[in-house]
Structure 1
Amino acid sequence: LAGWTAKHSVRIRGYLHPPVAGTYVFTSCGHVDLYIGLTHLASSSHQILSPTSTCSDAILLQAGTSYFIEAVCTSGDDDCVVQVGWHIPDGTHIEVISGSYLSPYNRYQEIPAAHSVLSGLSRRHPRVLASAYDFAVLRDRIDQEEQIAEFYALIKKQGMEFLEQPLPEYTYTDPYSFNIAGCANQLIQMMETLGFIYNIESVDGDLDLALRCATRAWIELEAASHFMHWDTEHFASTPRMAHAYAMGYDWFYNAFTPERRAVIRNAIIELGIKKYDEELDRGPFGWHQWTVMKGNWNCVINGETGIAILAVAGENDYLSEDVLHKLLVNTRNFSMLTYYPDGGTKESPSYWKFKDDFFLPFFPALETAVGTDFGLGAVKGFVESGLHPIYAMGPSGQFFNYSDGGLKWQATPGLMYLSRTFNKPLYAWAYRDRFPDSVSVRSVLWYDSRGSKDELLNLPLDQYFSDAEVVYLRGAWDDPNSSWLGFAATDNWDFIHGQLDQGTFVFDALGQRWAADLGADNYGLPGYWDKNTGGIRWKVYRIRAEGHNTLVINPGSTHEDQHPMVKGKMIDFSSVGNHPFAIADLTDAYKQNGALRVRRGIKLIDRCALLICDELQLEYPSEVWWFMHTQADINIAANGRSAILKQGGKQVEVSLLAAPESARLIVMDAERLAASPGSTPGELGAKGYRKLAIRMVDVTDIHLAVVLVPEGVPAVTHSQICKLSAWHS
């Protein structure tokens, strides 16, 4: 291996197939650490060679058995040489093991029977996310690499801040009155940060600092170990706390006495793992529906409980085997479907961050603890999921925040893990580019310096995520003033964060967001999660169709202005040339409101101007509204057929190019229509936003075309407007 410009390590993995049974002696040259497994599992491996010990002891191997083998070459030279030979039992010495005795490493395995899921368990701690060997490598890199040393200095600074915080006071008797999830979030960060420092400093480092970290970790963990429970009613908090305790137990295992380990282990098992098992047995009712839900809730509960099991496994193998097997099956059947088939997410890209924090770490934890992810990482769409936040970020620096999503892209170090594990250097570059100053334990554990902007520029400009039913179109990757839009057909029902937002869109141009989504409302609103027909959720303005950039047909005819239990569908998508487009069939969402056919097309003309085209066939003369929320100033022309939007010193012209004769653009407050259900006390509202709207009355067949043209872009003419059926011509 040649062409390296700095000190580096290369890891080569595979399976060894001995030709005959007997004792083997391995030899090496170069800077090679060689590990061989007792079985085919990576977690069963032990070191047999090092750069200073180039001839191994005799090792008994069986013919017909596959053994995991790994060579790690660390070098400061331009070239890295890995050469391993062996003496086979008949006395023959072979300088280089032939490829006929080797096969490629396969990290994917099917989920085995319960009694076998822990067969590859490493009996050493730490083993969750990182092993003692991983920390040893990091110690060397901190000593020898300036960038890693700087990262570690920042982690130590974060650790000192934790050490200087006031000691915890967990004195309440009613966990429901206390924000356990918030407490657990901080506790996870604290255990990872202090645990990282402990494992770096406890070997030939600052032993006093290591002791301080371990002491503080025990104080924190002991304090909450006496809770009656970890909020089992909502249950999302329960695995969060188990996750925090697992990191403390595993990363400080060698610092704690057996008695202290027992206290922490008992809390993990009794308050976490057993409660998870009870949840699975209880069935999918009420707050327990996560057990059969394809969404982030299922993901994070499985991922965090999985980390807890891996931390304490070996102490109670029957419990651990049984529950881990159930968890792996549930993860395969439900959690992994949130990624299928192309990595998109129904719950908006901001919830990718939630899975990045609390589900994705389960995968490296499996690899370090048992040597395999049991094929979960091979599920179609998992690796591609790193593309969604990249496409979903507009030039304005904001996400497309459909469903209950947020606008900001927060640090997602899981992109580093995906990059390193699946050879996706674009993800590593995207993380470093987006978060140049963000340093965390995970970003250092998974740090990948590869990737460049060139890989971004080589991506297609447009993308359709089929299960999420979301399309992104853009003018360019490297122009902050380029046009970009997100368009959603979505699913109103089949996940917990669904809104009545089929057909909604957001639009960026000139570095500004002109068409905006209001995002989620207050999660604490009474009835916010009531998704039954007529449920309170469907009366909240930000959830309703009238609170989005879509259509409302015959307002007041039903409680819901879109049907809450249907899914829209993109029926056409084209990324060819300079006029990319997508067309959605929204008919099912509006049937209850008198619609026979509703289709919306979105096109980026010359990859600059936005065209929104709606075609409706209605059962009877109807009232139809077209809405677009914006924070821009709106100036409507005297004829009502055009408007100028101004924002951030830029402007966009809106024109009504096809519409019923009486249709006019109007400006409205971002509030519910008079015919809509009343507001729910505590709603966030839409302060700072207004609505550009079109009202059409007594209509049965509509062809509506609205175009948004950024300043400096040629105007769109009537001749460029045609029926959706002709968009391909």
Structure 2
Amino acid sequence: MVSGRIPSLYKIIFFAWLAGLCSQVLAQEVYAPTPAADLSKLKTGHPRILLLKGEEKRILDQVQKHPQWRAVHEAILHECDTILGLAPLTREMTGKRLLGAQECLRRVFQLSYAYRTTRNPAYLNRAENEMLSVARFSDWNPSHFLDTAEMTMAVAIGYDWLYHDLPAATKDTLRLALVEKGIRISFDSKYNRFVTSEHNWNQVCNSGMVFGALAIAEDEPELAQNIINRALQSVPKVMNASYKPDGAYPEGYAYWEYGTSFNVLLISALEKALGEDYGLSAMPGFLKTAAFILNITGPINEVHNWGDCGEKLAGFSPASFWFASKTGDNSVLFQQTQFMNTRKAPGQVTNRLLPAALIWGTQLDISRIKKPEKKVWIGQGTNPVGFMRTSWTNRNAIFIGFKAGTPDMSHGQMDVGSFVLDAYGERWAMDFGSQDYYSLERRGVRVFGHTQDAQRWQIFRYNNLVHNTLTINGQHQRVDGYAKIDNWSESSSRMSVISDISTVYRGQLQSAKRGISIIDNREVVIRDEVKAPDRNTTLRWTLLTPAHVKVLDKKTVELTQNGKTMYLIFDSELPISIKTWPTTPPKDYDAPNPGTALVGFEANIPAGTEQYFNTFFSKNRTGFPPIGKLDSWNGK
């Protein structure tokens, strides 16, 4: 009997070994572990983080040469003069978040920059007082480790950049705070879940810790080595999940700006202090991601703000200048330089990373920024998206941002198949974005669940009923569904994006496909093709808009705003019923939504039948070309 069991046991062991080997091979295909950092290459002395001694001269030369950089530089100095009159930060909490963490980074980074470029002792003294104030905090709020990371980065920059002009006692205090309130506590398992995460926390927290480690490396070499090596093993996890294959960042615009900016800060700091980035910038899709942030912005400078992106107005992005410098493609700065030319620089000082734009951007000739060539951009990956536009230079151009992907991810919402639409200088199809987290958390709402029955999906702004997509029988989209961009066309006469979104309606529909096309640079059509299950089904088609809504007849809706008119025209063989729905919050914890409207239609689909629905956005009410089946649309 024993001899009869041995072969089976060997088989079990063999197949287990084989499975483990395969998983290792697959893991290596996902991302290769980075080599350990060599601290023998560390730049001796200070400053060593981001901007070495004497490199201020290059910045000041460019400030004198280019009025755009001069405006940014002078705005920082003016803001620092304002900071001189403010009280140092105190330890105040808003819910679970440390109120001043981001403000500390903003103040210290800008004050340190101002001192290095002017040698005005007032900026040095104010930065010193700011850092000593936060060093006296009881802690840097490790339970919300983003706060700890930003505080650590702030003090690390000030400590490193001002090192030779700070009193010895101040340096001792700051170094102790960096080690005890920042770096060491990051090894506590209660607080360091960011090490294995695949979202922006990984990027921000690792970056903050590495800045701290680089600042005090000569005093704590073993600790610094451990922090840097941990980051080199940890950060590829989030970079692999966030940028492969095309650079589409799955958490959306606002979290791209957060996570990617800190990722770039990490790489830039390693390159300056150690002479290399250990392969991080070569991660799949990473250098392509500047095109994502370029294309996500429409002609009226509003972004496609899907997911938990609270802001829809595009902003100044220092990280874009690093990408342009790294890749040699300055077209990714097309909108950034427009911001610099058309917006007053003082408005940029709220960006706590603003000095980094001067560090990276003054290496470029911003007087020669070329216009992007492509008008269609597709990003696959964890949360695929597609962007189309009729012009890069005309404010009245048509712009569409289309969202596929899944609700089941960090900051995800039930918005698969949703879109935004700009035309004639206005946004006609919009997205609410997020609601302030604290406004929900203080009411006891669990904001971040991802199961199908999570309380998150009861938040008004977060489910499919208020997104520009389909709802079946009043049900929520399936959290575990996923849709990619299946087909697209870059034809100037018929740009289009198509996605099979069936899996997010599993159990509700047999199939569902959505295509969006810009026809002859004039009008837009959304085509939905669905097949009902073996029971009658009610389909709801929804548009969220800031426009005034007027139903004209059984197939036509008039949208008006700011003296402009757009028609919404429905076309289907199946009878439809045009409807409007309130955007008034149904629960007391929901945020108000003034100036918005929901309009669309409902249709009863007979069991087992296939149906199509065409929806036109146009300045005209008639004269539309025939719209064929999605399978007939030319693509790729």
Indicate the TM-score class for this superposition, using the shorter chain for normalisation: 0.7 to 0.9
Pairing partner for 2:614 from 706, 723, 728? 706
Matched, 1:721 2:624: no
- How far apart are residue 450 of structure 1 and its match? 2.8
Retained in 1: the 8 A contact 2:97–2:144?
no
Instruction: Give a deviation string over 1:189-235, Cα, whole Å, max 9, x none.
Output: 22122212222344xxxxxx22x222222221122213332111121
Q: Distance in 1 between matches of 2:573 and 2:48?
A: 64
Q: 1:327 aligns with which of 208, 218, 231?
A: 231
Residue 200 of structure 1 corresponds to 117
Aligned to 1:609: 523
Partner of 1:233: 143
1:307 equivalenced with 2:228 (yes/no): no
In the alignment, the residues of structure 1 paired with residue 491 and residue 596 of structure 2 have an alpha-carbon distance, to the nearest angstrom, of 35
Cα distance 1:178–1:159, how it changes in 2: closer, same or farther (>3 A)? farther
Cα 1:288–1:345 shift into 2, 3 Å? same
Aligned to 2:123: 213
Q: 1:168 to 1:354 in 2, by over 3 A?
A: closer
Quote the Cα distance in structure 1 between the aligned partners of 2:71 and 2:299.
Answer: 31
- Structure 1 equivalent of residue 44 of structure 2: 123
1:706 to 1:322, Cα distance in 2 relative to 1, 3 A? same
Pairwise CA distance, 1:466: 0.8
1:111 equivalent to 2:28? Answer: no
Is 1:506–1:514's contact at 8 Å kept on the other side of the alignment?
yes
Preserved contact between residue 429 and residue 453 of structure 1 (Cα < 8 Å): no
Q: Equivalent residue for 2:82? A: 161
TM-score by length of 1: 0.76
Pairs within 5 Å for 1:534-553: 534-553=453-472
Pair 1:153–1:481, CA change in 2 (3 A): closer
**Cα shift at 1:146:** 6.9
Q: Give how far 1:336 is off.
A: 4.8
Instruction: Please name the residue that 2:100 is paired with.
Output: 183
Residue in 2 aligned with 1:690? 597
Please tell me the residue identity of whatever aligns with 2:579: I
Confirm or deny: 8 A CA contact 2:96 2:144 kept in the other structure. Answer: no
**Residues 1:442 and 2:352 are matched in the alignment:** no
Any residues of structure 2 matched to 1:62-81 within 5 Å, and which? none
Q: CA–CA distance in 2 between the matches of 1:595 and 1:179?
A: 42
1 or 2 for the larger relative contact order (CA 8 Å, sep ≥6)?
2
* Inter-partner Cα distance in structure 2 for 1:289 and 1:225: 24
2:126 alignment partner, SS class: helix
Partner of 2:481: 566
Q: CA shift at 1:239, angstroms?
A: 0.5
Aligned to 2:563: 649
1:638-677 aligned at under 5 Å gives the runs 638=553, 640-661=554-575, 663-670=576-583
Letter in 1 for 2:375: L
CA contact (8 A) 2:531 2:611 kept: no
Choose from 437, 453, 478 the match for 1:523. 437
Q: Which residue of 1 aligns with 2:500?
A: 585
Deviation at 1:112, TM superposition (A): 2.7
| Bigger share in helix | 2
Distance in 2 (CA, whole Å) between partners of 1:618 and 1:110 is 47
Q: Quick one: structure 1 residues 150 and 687, their matched pair in 2 at CA, closer, same or farther if it must change by over 3 Å? A: closer
Structure-2 separation of matches of 1:462 and 1:177: 42
Q: What is the letter of the counterpart of residue 489 of structure 1?
A: A
Q: Which residue of 2 aligns with 1:355?
A: 259
- Structure 2: stretches of 5+ with no match in the other structure: 1-31, 349-353
Larger radius of gyration: 1
Alignment: residue pair count: 585
Q: Contact between 2:76 and 2:110, CA under 8 Å: does it hold in 1? A: yes
Task: Write the mapping of 1:251-290 to structure 2, written as runs, cut at 5 A.
Answer: 251-279=161-189, 289-290=193-194
Over 3 Å counting, the alpha-carbon distance change for 1:120 and 1:539 in structure 2 is: same
The CA distance in 1 between the partners of 2:245 and 2:49, in whole Å, is 29
Q: Deviations over 1:284-310 (max 9, x none)?
A: xxx865333322222111222222211
Identity %: 23
Q: Which amino acid counterpart does residue 627 of structure 1 have in structure 2?
A: T
Instruction: String of CA shifts for 1:463-503, please: whole Å, max 9, x gaps.
Output: 1111131011111222221211111112211x320001101
Between structures 1 and 2, the one with greater strand share? 1
Equivalence for 2:451? 532
* TM-score under structure 2 length normalisation: 0.86
Aligned to 1:236, what secondary structure does the other structure show?
helix
Residue 320 of structure 1 aligns to a residue in which SS?
A: helix
Task: Say if 1:167 and 1:318 are closer, same or farther in 2 by CA, change over 3 A.
Answer: closer
Q: Say yes or no: does 1:400 pair with 2:275.
A: no
What is the identity, as a one-letter code, of the residue corresponding to 1:485? I
Separation (CA, whole Å) in 2 of partners of 1:341 and 1:348: 16
Shift, 1:608, TM fit? 2.3
